[in-house]
Structures are given as structure tokens and as C-alpha cells.
Amino acid sequence: MTNREETNSAIGSWSGFIYQGLCGLLVALRMIKERQEAVAGFSLQLDAYEDFSILNEHGRIYSLHQCKCIKNVADYTKEFEKITDKIEANKDKLQDPDNPHYYFHCNRSVSIDEKYRIAAYPFEEGKTYCEPGDIQRLLDHEVNQMKKDGSNTEVVRASLETLVNGNVLNTQQKYFEADSSGRLWKISRQQNIPFADIRGKLALFMTSYAPGDFLHQMKMAYILGMDKMADEEDDGESRRRVDVFINRLSALSEDEMRRFIQRVNPKEKVTDTFECWHAITSSERVNYLYNLITEFPLGTDNLDWHTEHSTQTPSTLGNDEKKRRIVRRIYENQANLDVLWLYDWIVGHQDEHIENIEESAQDIMNITDAELDTKSIFHAKKVGIMTKQEKREGKYD
């Protein structure tokens, strides 16, 4: 593996990983459904010999899978030309060197010359491509046929995605802990997801999300939503800024992710419930955040803005609610907003400037000085809400 190939590994780049990780899960589910006993000892391996591989019970490569999910690219001839060399390089590791089972997964229809030893993966009957927005639909279809009776399809699928997600995070952590000679691809080859673990999730009776699954689904919703909007806008600079956001979002730990989600949704209490998930991952909320990060790039790993005179956080606040309603909901949610200790301003799409949330709440809610919560974040420091136009004009910087 070249330095370029190691550097471009999708592990560590969530935008690239999501597509290949879910494609790998889809392939594993279909193999389990169609050949349950024959593949009982098989496993899924990510970013080792290829974007993902299926290993047999002896650890030999049953199939290799390359994934591409790139906008406006339909010619992968150079990639196909490398495949013969890859097959030869891994010949001693293949279950069947004469029939390597090499598949190409892509977000658009790609013509592959018969001279290459690779086949376009059949996502659906007569369709050899799958856009990112459709992959979870295909997963739900498989899960629905294989899950335990009474289990919630979406919940089971989320638990499987979390299984894949945990494998990637574990691999990345081992890479960080390794000495300077620790190559990512070498570490990846020591990691896999046994089909038995996937079957175990399918066999469980699941009607509610496990801890962490909702958070994973929230992260997925923001990443896939941002990715789709960037593709639709077809603007190179917006695409770059979204990619930076996605990669930084992917690096957040579970606790950091929960705090980020809470910070950008100050009206909501972030909980592992369907109601919360639907409220904060709506296309409208994601769109509000998308417009902010593409106009004002987030310059720090904390996904916020540090200016000369203030620290500002983006938010999903929109102009769908009046000032009174926004202030009331944020103030009443203060018990969950310790994440705002670092910030002077919340930036959103609302139409009205709010200089001080606590003072506005006093006026709007008729709160007396005696009734103020002196332990409140808003009492300890001033936090205001800045409009997008004020951010554009550089006010309060």
C-alpha cells in the first residue's frame, strides 16, 4: 500500500467511511440471509485489503469490494487498471485466486470493461449503483426480512450501524496509540466484524434504541443531510467547507457529539428518544446549519467561531418562531445548556437580535429579580442571540 493510499484511507474521514461502511453492512446482511450456515464463520473487514472485504472462516479473502461515492465522476478506468495488481499482490490470501470475487460499489452508473476482473455490485434488480440517500432504505429492506418478530426495523438497523461505527472508532484509536511504525492498513487487518455479531443483533428483540444509537443516528442525519445539500448546490467552495465540517464532526467523541448537538439546538433537551431525533434532525434544521457553515467556515475543531471580542456558536435556530417563543424555550431549557459557558453569542437565522437571553426572558415571562435562578448559565454570564445578517456584517466580533 502506498503512502497516498494509506493517507486516503476512509477511516478518519467520516464522509468517505459512511458509504463504504454501509455498503459493507448491506453485503454482509445479504450473504447471511442467502447462505446463513455456509457463511457462519465469515467476517466483514473495513479498509484493509480494499475499502471492505469479506473474509471466510479461515481469515482468507472471500471477496474484495471497492467503493466510490464522488460527485460528477463516472470514469474509474485508472482504478480498474490497478485491480489486476491488487489481485496479484493478495493472491496468497484469496480463498479462490482464480475467482477473486471483486466488486465495485458506486453512487452512479459506471461502465466496466469485461477485461477488468471486477463486477458492478447489483444493489437492486437492474441497478448497479446506489446514491447515499438510498443505502439505508436498502438496509431497512434486508433488516425487515431478517429481524426478530416484533422488533423495530429502524432500531435494529441503527444497532448494526453502531456496530460498524464502533469497529472504525476502535481501529482509529489503535492507530493513534501505535508507535510511529504503526500503519493504519496493518491495524485494520487485525480488526473485523464477525457475521456472528451481526446475526446476534438481528436475533435480539429490539423495540427501543440502545445508549449511543440515537446519537449515532443524529450524527448520520447531519452528515448525510449536509452531504446531499452540498451535492445539490454544486459549488466547489461550499463542498470544501462541508467536507471540513463533516470530517471534524466525525472526530468528536460521543460526549463531545452530544454537547455539540445540544449547543446547536438550544431550544431542545437532547435525549435518546424518537421525538428528539425527529425534532433536531429535520431537513429544515439541517438546512439552517448548512447555510451558516457554508457562509461562515467553522475555523476550529470545536466547530465554532472565535473572534477578537467574542466566542460564537452556530445553531439551528430559524425564523419559524417569534422572539418571544425562542427566548422562552431557551430559557426554560437552561438546565441542559451548560455547554454555553464558553459562548457569548448564539448565531442563527432568526429575524430579531436578542442582546441578553436572561433579560429578555424577564420581560417576556414577567420574571422578577427574586425569581431569577442565580445558578443559571444566563445569570452567570451574558449570552445573546445574533442574527445571520449581524454575523455577516461583523457586529460584536
Question: Could you tell me if 32 and 84 lie in one domain?
Answer: yes
Question: Could you tell me if 123 and 240 lie in one domain?
Answer: no
Question: Could you tell me if 244 and 154 lie in one domain?
Answer: no
In this prediction, residue 182 carries a pLDDT of 63
Question: Could you tell me if 94 and 148 lie in one domain?
Answer: yes
Question: Could you tell me if 310 and 164 lie in one domain?
Answer: no
Question: Could you tell me if 152 and 196 lie in one domain?
Answer: yes
> Does residue 214 lie within any of the structural domains?
no
Domain boundary among 183, 203, 223: 203
Q: Which domain holds residue 267?
A: 234-393
Question: Could you tell me if 195 and 246 lie in one domain?
Answer: no
Q: Which long-range contacts (CB under 8 A, 24 or more apart) does 109-117 make?
A: 109/74, 110/68, 110/74, 110/75, 110/76, 112/80, 113/80, 116/80, 116/81, 116/83, 116/84, 117/83, 117/84, 117/87
What average pLDDT does the segment 257-276 reach? Answer: 91
Least confident of 143-147, 234-238, 286-290, 312-316: 234-238
> Does residue 307 lie within any of the structural domains?
yes
Nearest C-alpha neighbor of 29 from the set 119, 126, 163, 128: 163
Would the pLDDT of 96 be above 60? Answer: yes
Least confident of 180-184, 216-220, 253-257, 279-283: 180-184
In this prediction, residue 181 carries a pLDDT of 62
Element at 119 (helix H, strand E): strand 119-120
Question: Could you tell me if 115 and 241 lie in one domain?
Answer: no
> Does residue 151 lie within any of the structural domains?
yes
> Does residue 227 lie within any of the structural domains?
no
In this prediction, residue 127 carries a pLDDT of 95
In this prediction, residue 187 carries a pLDDT of 82
In this prediction, residue 4 carries a pLDDT of 34
Residue pLDDT, tens place only, 143-185? 999 999 999 998 899 889 888 888 877 787 787 777 766 677 7
Question: Could you tell me if 264 and 178 lie in one domain?
Answer: no
Element at 86 (helix H, strand E): helix 77-89
In this prediction, residue 300 carries a pLDDT of 67
Question: Could you tell me if 19 and 93 lie in one domain?
Answer: yes
Question: Could you tell me if 338 and 254 lie in one domain?
Answer: yes
> Does residue 154 lie within any of the structural domains?
yes
For 234-300, give the secondary structure using H, E and C: CCHHHHHHHHHHHHHHHCCCHHHHHHHHHHHCCCCCCCCCHHHHHHHCCHHHHHHHHHHHHHCCCCC
**Cα angle value 50/167/282 (rounded, 5°):** 100
Question: In whole angstroms, what separates CA 330 from the centre of its chain?
Answer: 27
In this prediction, residue 381 carries a pLDDT of 86
Domain boundary among 203, 225, 244: 203
Question: Could you tell me if 195 and 249 lie in one domain?
Answer: no
Confidence of residue 1 (pLDDT cuts 50, 70, 90): very low
The number of distinct structural domains making up the chain is: 2
Would the pLDDT of 3 be above 70? Answer: no
What average pLDDT does the segment 67-72 reach? Answer: 82
